[in-house]
Structure 1
């Protein structure tokens, strides 16, 4: 049955980093979205669409803001239970908290429990698509794909591969052959099934041998429609670590490039401390950078430079990076992106922040033809946002003179309380 989902609807006319933000991102008041069979049919004035489609079920959210569902472009669902673990830099944090927690995913029942919990937390925060690392255990990947299929969520995920004995614990290590064989079997099972996309997933160069990276590069050449996700230049001490492990490499990016892992469809998490050669090669190969602001501040990694990277015409997505990131909320992530932008002398307009969390991440995942905007033919994934969800936000929003002044307090102070509901393929999450 057709549905009319009504409220203030956010639409995109362009990239707000390329054209004036308020021209690129528009908020349609008293609007509605006609949804049929999980897809957007049309967007327009509520009364007009109501008159044209009297048979459609009207779901009226009043003055609430209806956005494309948030897209979290880089996360680690196995770190759900250890989010907000105190006091470590990246390498110590991995050894102290992350690796012991990820070892638990050898137990498929535990993986199923965390996968379901994680996706429900995302939906409660308005996130309808996520790109996640799993663990070395194939069952951890199966658990996440199955949980996403049960919720009809669009999902990108892959088996995390790590085989270097001097940098990985023996209880969390595979081999080059296991990485290839197990990833291939998972691709055959899941890639393109329903709303699932497989991402070939070396954790990062320090935890993989050249042999493993070479095997994964070969695998990607055999399955070129997969994505590839990893980490790049998150911390300065990590970069020095990489130089010691790969003394012949020109730079950090080259440790991936020489194995065929730098091309269209590559997703590089963090990418804070880049060299000029790296930027040029990321541009030339149309790679995507994923900004993880809450993680970068929580672990003390550094400040991503949004202005120059967008000026470089790079694809940039936005992500929580849970559990290095300290929140499941893309609203909190947008707020952190704004704060980092201020420190980098780039004041991000609220329209740019919304775009990064939706359309920008969709472009980073090369899925902008399906998700990330509300327009005819797109999948009907939405987040419905209350712009007066708490007394503190309401007292600020009520004095707003423009819609962007009304929206910005929710970006800066909002959390899951601001999310009225999420729609997945036109259906309310949990219904």
Structure 2
């Protein structure tokens, strides 16, 4: 009898090992518990449930403990058992992330309007930690239904009243100029470069207006003391490399001093000015930057300096003429009948002509007037310009 029971238990164990194991058998988020604590998983589950409730769109993430050869077939069958014909998406990833598959249910593809079928997986894989990866995946899906915030202060650098005032400015400029003007603060970049983080955040959170995703994003990270301006679409045209350098010279000093509200407002005002300039004329660039206004203190200072210089020169010349006496006329300086003009004529001597060829415009960057903006491809496949540094 005992032998039969042992054989039966062995059979059950073998069967269990042959069946793909999920970290959980219910809910939207199913991650191996060794990579994420229960509280974090509960928060992510709530986020997915909120998306389903608000937008009638199901978002599933499944982490597999074992390998499956046919991920596509498995994902299709699993989604059908979970959501049937409802609109939604399921991201299936094995434990070491070497295999993955995204299944779109119902009208999900048209609703998400993604040009790249790998876009959601890219939003997941760009992060290293499981919780960060799932959060990024959920945020990307959510951004396809909700307009992302123009001010994201994850670094906690601003007071509530400063946030309210700055967000109002960013919203007004973005609406008037037709491009998203974004400010993002973070505690850490989680191993990414400032350029990668800024570009990825812009792309995977669906920022940008129009087909070219016009926008400008400023990233500030406190741990690395990095700042970076990422531009897309019209933002690349309006904010040249020289423009990034000029704008940063105006606001980075306030970042270094800890006056974050002033730094961010200065950045927003300058981007607004640069975009307006690009729309009415050629973009600001090296050799064609905004003229710095003179301080009002320079007016009385310049007047006093001019009076002092004039007095000094007059005093010096007067001191050199002590032997000279005043004369009432010029007669004493002339010799009578010493000048006689007998003949006068004009003679043409020579002509000097210099020819300078007009240089041809061989600029192929697409910027009017030789404007200079370098660009690069991002992890998502988008095109970005910009630049950054330390503060």
TM-score by length of 1: 0.22
Flag the structure with higher strand content.
1
* Max Rg structure: 2
TM-score by length of 2: 0.24
